[in-house]
Amino acid sequence: MKGIIGKKIGMTSIFSEDGKQTACTIIEAGPNTVTQVKTIETDGYSAVQLAYGDKKDKHATKAEINHYAKAQTSAKKFVKEFRNYSIEKALGETISLDIFAEGDKVEVVGTTKGKGFQGVVKRHGFSGVGEASHGQHDRSRAPGSIGGSSYPARVFKGMRMAGRMGNDRVKLKGLKVVKIFPEKNYILISGSVPGHNGSIVLIQK
């Protein structure tokens, strides 16, 4: 396992030499600072804690400031722990995009856009009534019957109904690293990545 914390910038397209277009997501990944190294002897498992994004000391607790001071760095906004990290790094060292190469297959973890409380047409793709009713209004997007009457006299668990949509943690596998711009800390990954522009994502391999 090796990975890095990044921020989604947006989407663009890359054209190959033969004219093939590939939709890509731009992610500003790193540099990340190693703020803690956990070992089996001291913590019971092996892991590396990475931090990304600076924040002012007035917005951090005293415990956070002292924790980051051990790595000789300022307070950070985002912290993530990667278990069984394959790259050996000491406390205070940085992780950059050189851990990846163009053509690598990676996994990206992000939080999808929140849609709020949505009905069954948008949330589950129901088609609604689909035809005119006998004068009944507000039926075109209704869910329809959801359960039995005297038997089973309940609604089955997992019934697709209206409810909160989005804001879910999602992992996409098998994405390809198309291009890397180390001078800007930009990495271009094929396809779409969950989350809005500016959201935090994890890239791991």
Digits of tens for pLDDT over the chain (205 positions)? 899 999 999 999 999 889 999 999 999 998 999 999 999 999 999 999 999 999 999 999 999 999 999 999 999 999 999 998 888 889 999 999 999 999 999 999 999 999 999 999 999 999 888 777 788 888 888 898 888 888 888 999 999 999 999 999 999 999 999 999 999 999 999 999 999 999 999 999 9
Residue 152 is predicted with a pLDDT of 87
Tokens, residue 1: 């396992």
Strands laid side by side in the 47-54 sheet: 76-83, 47-54, 32-38, 94-95
**What's the CA angle centered on 1, arms 87 and 11, to 5 degrees?**
105
Residue 16 is predicted with a pLDDT of 87
Domain segments of the chain as ranges: 3-115+169-204, 116-130+139-166
Q: Name the nearest CA neighbour of 175 among 102, 113, 112, 111.
A: 102
Query: Considering all CA atoms of the chain, what is the largest pairwise distance in Å, rounded to the nearest integer?
Result: 73
Give the residue carrying structure tokens 């921020």: 7
DSSP 76-131: EEEEEEEET-SS---TT-EE-GGG--TT-EEEEEEEPPEEEEE-HHHHH------S
Work out the number of other CB atoms within 10 angstroms of the CB of residue 7.
20
Give the Å distances, CA to CA, from 116 to 8, 69, 188, 198.
21, 40, 30, 19
Contact 34, 92 (CB under 8 A): yes
CATH of 3-115+169-204, one of 3.30.930.10, 3.30.420.40, 3.40.50.920, 2.40.30.10: 2.40.30.10
Contact 78, 116 (CB under 8 A): no
Q: Name the nearest CA neighbour of 4 among 103, 83, 66, 96.
A: 96
Residue 58 is predicted with a pLDDT of 93
pTM, full prediction:
0.85
